[in-house]
């Protein structure tokens, strides 16, 4: 990995990570990049850092050498966000150089002490505050609380119009040494758009209101470049990722795309018999269908597809008077991630008492998910031919309602 120049006086240092679960939960099949930025005026600031995972800070330090940047020349470390994926290197960095000043938000200060025992050389800033690096380079700060933690802030270089929003506008996907949107083909940009949805739905989803508040601030700034803490740096078309995030934030409450996500689990194949017929019926109506079998499917994949889906089908049997547990666990997580207002349908098999339906209603109510369900279909044991016909009817009805909701929704750029 090499340091690259973002624009005059601004450089991106980065490390890619893979083969790990992000936040110890989320698989990152295509890796993730962790970006850090050097901003040079007469004084030098480093904005954001990288995690302390094995080999990662060393990758960053090697890039200092490559840039012929003496670590002792760094005057400011701007900590936009204290989550250790960005601040984890601070401890080792401090052992290498102790005199720099840390710039962070007011809520960041106690976290610096809590995580790293750092109590000195901290300057707290709030929205509207600036730091003059000299040479016409002024950094301005804005609190963007809860994107992703309460202390999060964004930094804006007024000279170049570069926004450093840390987790906001980030995406998964390792980038190597070609991290700029202007270096990507349309195909690569489409790939990274999926990685942005995966990142948003897995990491940021629970914070859509704070994202919308942050977007209001960003809309007032003359942003020319978006340089996030993860993923692509947007130089050619910064509006793209800003508008994408506006759409992703709106997907919490829906409507989203002409898509349906099917989440199904089945012990002995009875519920499963209904899956293919309903999927075919929905596809025949022209909606895209994502199918996930639990518990095998990673929750991260399910979230990524449901985030863009206006419709949901849940299929599971009754298990010990409740929902088949892996589907219940996924539904509970969807509630926590604020997957709201979906058009939905549930079907499944039971043996004697049923009970899955009741628990489903409990979970949806508890999380105030406001899913609008078609009438459920339950069958005792195997589904009959007429049960399967009813399922297909429901699939067609769901697909049509999804299309109507999307068609009636206001367009969000």
Question: Quick one: which segment of 20-28, 285-293, 313-321, 390-398 binds ligand FMN (CB under 6 A)?
Answer: 313-321
Minimum distance, C-beta of residue 170 to Fe ion, in the bound complex (Å): 6
Residue nearer to ligand FMN on the CB measure, 185 or 353 = 353
- Applying CB under 6 A, among 26, 37, 251, 350 the residue interacting with ligand FMN is 350
Residue nearer to ligand FMN on the CB measure, 87 or 266 = 266
349 is a site residue for ligand FMN (CB under 6 A): yes
Task: Report the partner that residue 271 touches, choosing among ligand FMN, Fe ion, none (CB closer than 5 to 8 A by kind).
Answer: ligand FMN
- Please say whether the dihedral angle defined by the alpha carbons of residues 320, 326, 332 and 334, taken in this order, is positive or negative: negative
Query: What is the bridge-based pairing of β-strands 10-17 and 32-40?
Result: antiparallel
Helix (H) or strand (E) holding 162: strand 162-164
Question: CA 85, CA 108: separation in Å to the nearest integer?
Answer: 15
Residue nearer to ligand FMN on the CB measure, 72 or 268 = 268
**Long-range CB contacts (within 8 A, 24+) of 241-245:** 241/169, 241/171, 241/196, 242/169, 242/215, 242/218, 243/412, 243/413, 244/193, 244/196, 245/168, 245/169, 245/200, 245/211, 245/215
Task: Report the partner that residue 190 touches, choosing among ligand FMN, Fe ion, none (CB closer than 5 to 8 A by kind).
Answer: none
Minimum distance, C-beta of residue 384 to ligand FMN, in the bound complex (Å): 13
Cα 371 → chain centroid? 22
Query: What is the bridge-based pairing of β-strands 322-323 and 288-293?
Result: unpaired
Minimum distance, C-beta of residue 376 to ligand FMN, in the bound complex (Å): 14
Minimum distance, C-beta of residue 264 to ligand FMN, in the bound complex (Å): 9
Q: Are the CB atoms for 80 and 154 separated by under 8 Å?
A: yes
Tokens of 89: 């290197």
Task: Report the partner that residue 148 touches, choosing among Fe ion, ligand FMN, none (CB closer than 5 to 8 A by kind).
Answer: Fe ion
384 is a site residue for ligand FMN (CB under 6 A): no
148 is a site residue for Fe ion (CB under 5 A): yes
387 is a site residue for Fe ion (CB under 5 A): no
Strand order across the 130-134 sheet: 130-134, 137-143, 153-157, 162-164, 225-226
Residue nearer to ligand FMN on the CB measure, 233 or 327 = 327
Cα 308 → chain centroid? 12
Tokens of 110: 């106690």
- Applying CB under 6 A, among 354, 373, 393, 401 the residue interacting with ligand FMN is 354
Task: Report the partner that residue 355 touches, choosing among Fe ion, ligand FMN, none (CB closer than 5 to 8 A by kind).
Answer: ligand FMN
37 is a site residue for ligand FMN (CB under 6 A): no
Q: How many CB atoms lie within 10 A of CB 214?
A: 25
157 is a site residue for Fe ion (CB under 5 A): no
Tokens of 6: 């973002």
- Applying CB under 5 A, among 151, 167, 195, 259 the residue interacting with Fe ion is 167
From residue 386, how far is each of 273, 277, 318 by CA, in Å?
13, 12, 21
Q: Pattern 79-118, binding to Fe ion, x per CB under 5 A?
A: ----x-x---------------------------------
Minimum distance, C-beta of residue 354 to ligand FMN, in the bound complex (Å): 5
261 is a site residue for ligand FMN (CB under 6 A): no
Task: Report the partner that residue 353 touches, choosing among Fe ion, ligand FMN, none (CB closer than 5 to 8 A by kind).
Answer: ligand FMN
Tokens of 278: 């309903």
Minimum distance, C-beta of residue 274 to ligand FMN, in the bound complex (Å): 9
Minimum distance, C-beta of residue 398 to Fe ion, in the bound complex (Å): 35
Q: How many CB atoms lie within 10 A of CB 218?
A: 23
Q: Are the CB atoms for 199 and 171 separated by under 8 Å?
A: yes
Minimum distance, C-beta of residue 342 to ligand FMN, in the bound complex (Å): 22
Tokens of 139: 């950094």
Minimum distance, C-beta of residue 398 to ligand FMN, in the bound complex (Å): 20
353 is a site residue for ligand FMN (CB under 6 A): yes
Query: For residue 194, is the peptide bond before it cis, meaning its omega torsion is within 30 degrees of 0?
Result: no
Burial of 55 from C-beta contacts in 10 A (0-12 / 13-18 / 19+): exposed
Q: Pattern 208-227, binding to ligand FMN, x per CB under 6 A?
A: --------------------
- Applying CB under 6 A, among 96, 267, 284, 412 the residue interacting with ligand FMN is 267
Residues forming contacts to ligand FMN in the complex (CB under 6 A) are 266-272, 317-321, 349-355, 381
């Amino acid at each position: 990995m090499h340091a690259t120049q973002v624009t005059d006086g601004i450089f991106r240092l980065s490390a890619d990570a893979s083969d790990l679960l992000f936040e110890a939960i989320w698989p990152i099949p295509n890796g993730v990049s962790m970006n850090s930025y050097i901003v040079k005026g007469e004084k030098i600031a480093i904005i954001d850092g990288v995690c302390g995972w094995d080999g990662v800070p060393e990758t960053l330090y090697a890039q200092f050498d490559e840039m012929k940047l003496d670590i002792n020349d760094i005057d400011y470390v701007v900590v936009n966000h204290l989550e250790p994926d960005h601040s984890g290197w601070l401890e080792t960095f401090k052992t290498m150089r102790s005199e720099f000043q840390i710039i962070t938000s007011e809520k960041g200060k106690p976290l610096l002490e809590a995580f790293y025992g750092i109590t000195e050389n901290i300057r707290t800033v709030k929205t509207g505050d600036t730091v003059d690096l000299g040479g016409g380079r002024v950094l301005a700060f804005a609190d963007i609380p809860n994107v992703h933690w309460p202390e999060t802030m964004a930094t804006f270089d007024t000279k170049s119009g570069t926004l450093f929003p840390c987790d906001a506008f980030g995406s998964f996907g390792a980038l190597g040494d070609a991290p700029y949107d202007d270096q990507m083909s349309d195909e690569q940009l489409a790939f990274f758009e999926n990685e942005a949805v995966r990142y948003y739905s897995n990491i940021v989803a629970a914070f859509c209101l704070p994202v919308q508040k942050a977007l209001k601030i960003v809309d007032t700034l003359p942003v020319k470049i978006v340089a996030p803490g993860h993923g692509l740096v947007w130089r050619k078309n910064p509006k793209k990722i800003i508008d994408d995030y506006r759409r992703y934030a709106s997907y919490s409450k829906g409507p989203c795309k002409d898509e349906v996500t099917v989440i199904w689990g089945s012990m002995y194949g009875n519920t499963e018999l209904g899956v293919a017929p309903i999927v075919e019926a929905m596809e025949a109506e022209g909606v895209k269908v994502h199918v996930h079998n639990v518990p095998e499917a990673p929750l991260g994949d399910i979230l990524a597809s449901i985030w863009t889906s206006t419709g949901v089908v849940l299929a599971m049997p009754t298990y010990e008077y409740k929902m088949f547990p892996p589907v219940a666990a996924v539904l509970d997580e969807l509630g926590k991630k604020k997957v709201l207002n979906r058009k939905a349908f549930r079907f499944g098999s039971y043996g004697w008492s049923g009970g899955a339906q009741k628990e489903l209603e409990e979970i949806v109510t508890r999380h105030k998910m406001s899913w609008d369900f078609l009438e459920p279909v339950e069958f005792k044991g195997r589904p009959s031919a007429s049960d399967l016909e009813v399922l297909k009817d429901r699939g067609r009805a769901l697909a049509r309602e999804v299309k109507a909701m999307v068609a009636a929704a206001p367009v969000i750029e």
